[in-house]
Amino acid sequence: MFVDQFDFIDDVSSFLQHMTIITKTEEEIQTLRQVLLAKEKYASDVRRQLGLSPLSTMKQNLSRGWQDVQSSAPYVRTRDNLSHAGQVTSAALSNVGVAFTRRLAEMRHSSTFKSLEEMVVSVKDKVTNNGDASGFQRRSSRHNAS
């Protein structure tokens, strides 16, 4: 029982010490908040005297932040990789265009295309009355007579 009383006294003493520390820390925090609030008010007054608005300050902060982002290693790597991908894609599309043009030229010289071209020219000549278009003329003369 005697030992229990000493333990109890030690516990109470320790508790009171911790409570004192907490109280002192909370008072310091409150003091720091008051000092910070006073400094923020002072800085705001100085900004106002200099003609700096909260909007201009925010613009400056955003501009500085964007510059920081643009100079960051991940951004630079991504920008360079996208630029390289764009160049590769452009070259690939150019090659596809060249191959497509070459293939169209080959098709133009094929016998099938020449045969189709001759048929189109023949139909065009008939429509524009440069060839034998007797069937076409008969139909158009009926429409004109009506």
Q: Which of 9, 35, 52 is the last residue of a domain?
A: 52
Q: Which of 52, 76, 94 is the last residue of a domain?
A: 52
* Structural domain includes residue 69: no
pLDDT of residue 130: 59
Q: Which of 36, 52, 68 is the last residue of a domain?
A: 52
* Structural domain includes residue 86: no
pLDDT of residue 65: 94
Per-residue model confidence as pLDDT tens digits over 95-109 = 999 998 988 888 888
* Structural domain includes residue 92: no
- Residue 141 CA to residue 107 CA, distance in Å, equals 40
pLDDT of residue 64: 93
* Structural domain includes residue 21: yes
Per-residue model confidence as pLDDT tens digits over 67-95 = 999 999 999 999 999 999 999 999 999 99
pLDDT of residue 82: 94
* Structural domain includes residue 25: yes
Structural domain boundaries, residue 10: 1-52
* Structural domain includes residue 142: yes
Q: Could you tell me if 127 and 133 are in contact, meaning their C-beta atoms sit under 8 angstroms apart?
A: yes
C-alpha closest to that of 115 among 127, 107, 104: 107
Residues of the chain with pLDDT under 50: 133, 138, 142, 146
* Structural domain includes residue 78: no
Number of domains in the chain: 2
- Residue 52 CA to residue 56 CA, distance in Å, equals 6
* Structural domain includes residue 87: no
